[in-house]
A and B are shown apart, each in its own frame.
Chain A
Amino acid sequence: MDIQQYISSGVIEAYVLGIAADEDVRELEQLSHQYPEIAAAVEEYRRSLEAYADALAITPPAGLKDQIWSAIQADEQQLPVVHPSQEHTGSTFDFATNEGKGGRRVRLYRSLAAAVALLLGSITLNIVLWNQSQQTGKKMSEMKQEQQRMLADNQDFRSRLEQSAHQLDLLLDPFVKSIVLAGVGAHTNNNAMLLWDGRSKDVYLSLKNMPLPPAGKQYQLWAIVNGKPVSAGVYTMDGKQAMQKMKTIPQAEMFAITLEQEGGSETPTLDEMYVAGKVQG
């Protein structure tokens, strides 16, 4: 450690002026225990600053000494301390000089004043406490709302989790056929995913890659059975576009989706066919 370099680095000056960074303060205090030169440099600056402070000395106002001594004694007895700036030399002393003549009246005034002060204090305290209880109540209801929101969130998460688990089960089930419905005509960019359970004949549909239908329209799934379209239900675009269960279809050669009016149609509008896919094997 190069002591001279450290001493001339400016850290000591910053330390004595009280503007050194915390880590510099710690380091310096440690080093000054180890190196007397550093301790001496600190002390020398300190004395210069203290001499400056000394030079600012001003005689305090007369009477302050007694006030402070009273305050010290009050503080030692844990009584409230009066600040010199609050000390007022007014009415009470005027009353005091009138003792004798109107002494009783003065005492009456004083007890009245004390009673009023007590009353005011009590009112203030009540207001403060009432405010506090209001605030606590408000906080409680906020917390309740927060809790309800979290419960709702929780339920939502749980249902999504259940749905995902169900979808995963379907995908992993060897009896479930997955059929991709590919885009038709102008809709080659779209496709849909269909799952068909070979035992229960349940049909599930996912429309992740389909455009949102215009207002008043809905996608309708058709099963082609012996060359004839049979409705397998309409798909509800609810924003999540998750797997939705459609009607049970015992048998089909092909599936197709058309855009129909809301609620579905009796027969498919063929020029509104978006996607279609054959059932393999």
Chain B
Amino acid sequence: MPPYSHHTEAELVALLKSKDQQAFSYLYDNYGAALYGVAMKMLNKEEAAKDLLQEVFIKIWRNIASYDPSRGRLYTWMLNIARNAAIDVLRSSGFNQDKKISGIEQNVYNDNSALSTSQKTDHVGLKQIVEGLKEEYRLIIDLAYFKGFTQEEIARELNIPVGTVKTRSRNALLQLKSIMK
């Protein structure tokens, strides 16, 4: 089990606001792997993912004072920082965009579950998600959530009407939710 249970989010936030190295260490050990995994998933390149992880931690450090717990959980906040930063990288002209979506299946068999920072008590592994999620639903989630595509861009990428993107994204999340239960 991750050491997350040692601190509640509120305690962690207080610790982070003190800005000492111990707080960073705790944050990195508990969220580093999740945020790095997201960075790898989105950018698909180790060098870029390392740079991104650093940028994300710097942003967390700079902005922790303005984090407002009433507006969402800390993890959501950090994940959004990471996703937005990665989307910025993906959209930057210099980034050599690899058109194919990162092969999630490659990761499935590297069992990383022990490293996961999941805050859920009943942890669901990647393998279960990939096997439980219909391919076309996984594609929609990956393009929208992990590539920052708009509905129109997804429609173009998959060559389906925008209306289909809407129905599919609803069904995709319903299915994901049922897997996670």
> A residues engaging B (CB < 8 A)?
10, 13-14, 16-19, 44-61, 64-65, 67-69, 71-72, 75-76, 81, 83-85
Contact with A along B49-88 (1 / 0, CB 8 A): 0110110011001100000000000011001000100000
- Tell me, yes or no, whether B176 is within 8 Å of chain A by CB: yes
Q: In the complex, are the beta carbons of A44 and B33 less than 8 A apart?
A: no
Inter-subunit contact B173/A61 (CB<8 Å): no
A10 touches B167 (CB 8 A): yes
Of B7-15, B93-101, B120-128, the segment with at least 4 beta carbons within 8 Å of chain A is B120-128
Across the A-B interface, the 3 shortest Cβ-Cβ residue pairs: A56-B37, A85-B47, A17-B144
* CB pair A17 B37 closer than 8 Å: no
A35 to B: closest C-beta gap in Å: 17
Looking across the interface, which residue of chain A has its beta carbon closest to that of B31?
A: A57
Q: Are A55 and B124 in contact (CB under 8 A)?
A: yes
B34 to chain A, nearest CB (A): 5
Query: Is there contact, CB below 8 Å, between A45 and B177?
Result: yes
How far does the alpha carbon of A232 sit from the alpha carbon of B79 in the complex, in Å?
Answer: 90
Docked-complex contact B40 and A58, CB < 8 angstroms = yes
Query: Once the chains bind, are A57 and B33 in contact (CB under 8 Å)?
Result: yes
8 Å CB contacts to A: which residues of B31-47?
32-34, 36-38, 40-41, 46-47
**Contact pattern, B 138-175, Cβ under 8 Å of A = 1, otherwise 0:** 00110011001111001000000000011101101110
Question: B interface, how many residues as a size bin?
Answer: 35 or more
Instruction: Give complex CA distance A18, B179 in Å.
Output: 21
Tell me if B36 and A59 are in contact (CB < 8 A): yes
Given the complex of chains A and B, what is the CA–CA distance between A67 and B28 in angstroms?
A: 12
Q: Are B28 and A52 in contact (CB under 8 A)?
A: no
Q: Which residues of A are found within 8 Å of B115, using beta-carbon distances? A: 57-59
Question: In the complex, what residues of B have CB within 8 A of residue A13's CB?
Answer: 169-170, 172-174
Q: How far is the CA of A59 from the CA of B141 in the complex (A)?
A: 23
Say if the beta carbon of B18 comes within 8 Å of chain A.
no
Which residues of B lie under 8 Å from residue A83 when comparing CB positions? 50-51, 54
User: In the assembly, what is the distance between CA of A84 and CA of B51, in Å?
Assistant: 6
Q: Taking A17-B173, A19-B149, A57-B117 as contacts, is the C-beta distance between A52 and B141 under 8 angstroms?
A: yes
Taken together as a complex, chains A and B put the C-alpha atoms of A81 and B38 apart, in Å, by: 22
Let me know if B129 is at the binding interface, CB within 8 A: yes
A-B contact pairs, 26 of them (CB 8 A): A13-B172, A13-B173, A14-B151, A14-B166, A14-B170, A45-B177, A48-B179, A50-B79, A54-B118, A56-B38, A57-B36, A58-B107, A58-B115, A59-B36, A61-B50, A64-B54, A65-B25, A68-B54, A69-B21, A69-B25, A72-B24, A81-B58, A83-B54, A84-B54, A85-B48, A85-B51
